[in-house]
Structure 1
Amino acid sequence: MTILPPAPGEPRRPDGPRDSGDAWVIAPTGERYWGRYGAAGLLAVDPERGVLLQHRVSWSHFGGTWALPGGARHEGESALDGALRESQEEAGVPDGAVVPRLESVLDLGYWSYATVVADVRTPFDPVISDPESVALEWVPLDAVDALPLHPGFAASWPSLRALLEVRPALVIDAANVVGSVPDGWWNDSAGAAERLYGRILGALDDRGFGFVPEAAQPVWGGTDAHVRWYPETVLVVEGQARAIAEERADAADETSLRIVAASGSGDDAIVREARALVERERDVVVVTSDRELAARVVDAGAQALPAGWLLAQLGD
């Protein structure tokens, strides 16, 4: 692998000095890839208008093709942050206008590209704000294949489109997850649940969760990408931990994480939440190591993953 800076006329930050990530990576086989630390792009999905695509200026890499707003990541920058920053710089995507759904990463070892798929929460009109775009347009899903696409986007589009049909949701048995680690939680179950809430929220804000929803399994055979999800998430608490649900009641409007306080049996509340999400056509995964509860949620149409899976996702 070789690192080369951009040549005159090639991409660079439009608003100041070149970032250290603005460089070409030369593969052992000679291909060039933009971004010393990898690259990221945003696939914004509007339920009425389709997906936001960028018509690339002729002098750019694969100029004249259509692709995603995106570009080189900064050193230490997450794929999510990189995709959102680049889409703001190139397409004027407003803060808070989109909610991430999934992140699909093609990792070649020496270079990676992350596609962040995000749902439009607040409709907006894109704005050409740098010289790399001829046009920015909302393109209906059925019309994407008719465009001259960037080769990388063309290769990934079939699996990305299939994944747009998958809407996963997590229901987490807080008491079971907290109780699986002997760290003294019994002295302060509410505090332990609060810490779990914070760690889950941090994952949803940064890197998502890696799992394979049942509805997505047929897609996995046709892609080399690694997929992580930012799912609608429900944390079910019971006993003394129910206090945090009231404290965090307003946060659900700003995040993908909702807390449900079980008024009676925590297991019954989890089954109800799972069943309600299944009825909304979500691909539901319940996190619990309780075998009896796991059997009940499977009967309700959900998957079950053990508490250890979640803890590993959170870094334990």
Structure 2
Amino acid sequence: MGTTDRSGDGWVTCARGHRHWGRYGAAGLLLVADGRVLLQLRAEWSHHGGTWGIPGGALARGETAVEGALRETLEEAGIVLPPSAVTGRSVVDHGGWSYATVLAAVEEVLPVVPDDGESDDLRWVPVDQVEDLLLHPGFAASWPGLAAAAGVRLRIVVDGANVVGSRPDGWWRDRAGAAQRLRDRLAGLEVPGDVLPDGLAPPLGSWSPEVVLVVEGAARRTIAVANGPGVVAAPGSGDDEIVRQAAEGTIVVTSDADLQSRCRAVGAVAVGASWLLRLLDAA
């Protein structure tokens, strides 16, 4: 919950008549590394003290779930994570109060320090041993669904030329500029779980995917511009590079029927440009 005096601190009663901490809701971080998740043993004096859960607490006014979860993890575990580590989000809405579990992943187990007085212990626990612990009731109820999504990273490969060319907005006058605008729109993309092709990923409220934008021809100089999702300049055929980037479980965005067939042959899921554009327009 953090120890700083923030405007979100305080108890509220939800529409179900339950009392919850956080006037603007609350969020926590489920961090995964090498098949383990970071769990916090709540201090005995705290609400549900003596149970295991994830670092988290009240959101400040105007703070997003990701911002709050990352801040609380820094305060309670001493871990600094970039937003790019986030893989998804699950929200439990009680009516007038909600709790967001932000999922994140790193490659290696990180050192942790319980330094805010609200943790009696912090421990990296193997995923298959989490249920052996005495869990916080809210976390226990959510864990079965979260366990399936823990450590999963959705990957989207975008056929830049095809997506840019799908709308007659004058892109042909400045192909590199059009590719850069697409790159900028892809930064921070969130994909609602209910728009994913069936069976592609475990159920989750939303996913924060790894995005690879493949560019070719005059758009290649986009690769030299920082700030945005991964950009790959095809050394030759853009289609060939997209197939190289595709893999089982990857979403490939292109409306080119032949390229869709090639990507499906290597196990990827192919969707049309309109699927992505609807997401970007709704953001």
Normalising by structure 1, report the TM-score.
Answer: 0.80
Q: Is the 8 A contact 1:238 1:266 kept in 2?
A: yes
User: Percent identity between the aligned chains?
Assistant: 51
Aligned pair 1:270/2:242, yes or no? yes
How far is 1:98 from its partner?
7.8
Match of 2:70 among 84, 87, 96: 84
Aligned pair 1:22/2:9, yes or no? yes
Match of 1:240 among 218, 227, 245: 218
Runs of 5+ consecutive residues of structure 1 not aligned to the other structure? 1-10, 221-225
Distance 1:272 1:97, change over 3 A: closer
Equivalent residue, structure 2, for 1:209: 191
How is 1:147-186 mapped onto 2 (pairs within 5 angstroms)? 147-164=133-150, 166-186=152-172
Distance 1:287 1:157 in 2: 32
Distance 2:21 2:255 in 1: 44
Distance 1:293 1:108, change over 3 A: farther
Q: Is the 8 A contact 1:177 1:307 kept in 2?
A: yes
**C-alpha offsets along residues 272-308 of structure 1, whole Å, 9 cap, x if unaligned?**
211xx33xxxx20011222332233222211122222
**C-alpha offsets along residues 120-153 of structure 1, whole Å, 9 cap, x if unaligned?**
2464321112222111111121221011101111
Equivalent residue, structure 1, for 2:261: 295
Q: Is the 8 A contact 1:40 1:114 kept in 2?
A: yes
Distance 1:238 1:98 in 2: 25
Distance 1:194 1:307 in 2: 17
Q: Is the 8 A contact 1:104 1:116 kept in 2?
A: yes
Q: Is the 8 A contact 2:15 2:95 kept in 1?
A: no
Distance 1:58 1:84, change over 3 A: same
Aligned pair count? 280
Q: Is the 8 A contact 1:213 1:285 kept in 2?
A: no
Q: Is the 8 A contact 1:40 1:113 kept in 2?
A: yes
Aligned pair 1:260/2:253, yes or no? no
SS of 1:37's equivalent in the other structure is: coil
Match of 1:43 among 15, 30, 39: 30
User: What code does the residue aligned with 2:42 have?
Assistant: R
Distance 1:188 1:98 in 2: 29
Equivalent residue, structure 2, for 1:314: 280
Distance 1:156 1:20, change over 3 A: same
Distance 2:83 2:267 in 1: 32
Distance 2:134 2:68 in 1: 25
How far is 1:193 from its partner?
0.6
Q: Is the 8 A contact 2:22 2:57 kept in 1?
A: yes
Match of 2:208 among 230, 245, 248: 230
How far is 1:197 from its partner?
1.0
User: What code does the residue aligned with 1:55 have?
Assistant: L
Normalising by structure 2, report the TM-score.
Answer: 0.89
Distance 1:213 1:42 in 2: 26
Equivalent residue, structure 2, for 1:8: none
Runs of 5+ consecutive residues of structure 2 not aligned to the other structure? none
How far is 1:22 from its partner?
1.5
Distance 1:164 1:154, change over 3 A: same
How far is 1:29 from its partner?
2.6
RMSD after superposition: 2.3
Distance 1:36 1:306, change over 3 A: farther
How far is 1:157 from its partner?
1.0
How far is 1:80 from its partner?
1.2
**C-alpha offsets along residues 167-225 of structure 1, whole Å, 9 cap, x if unaligned?**
4211001112112222221111101111111221233xxxx3224365555x43xxxxx
Q: Is the 8 A contact 1:98 1:119 kept in 2?
A: no
Q: Is the 8 A contact 1:97 1:124 kept in 2?
A: no
Distance 2:94 2:269 in 1: 31
Equivalent residue, structure 2, for 1:5: none
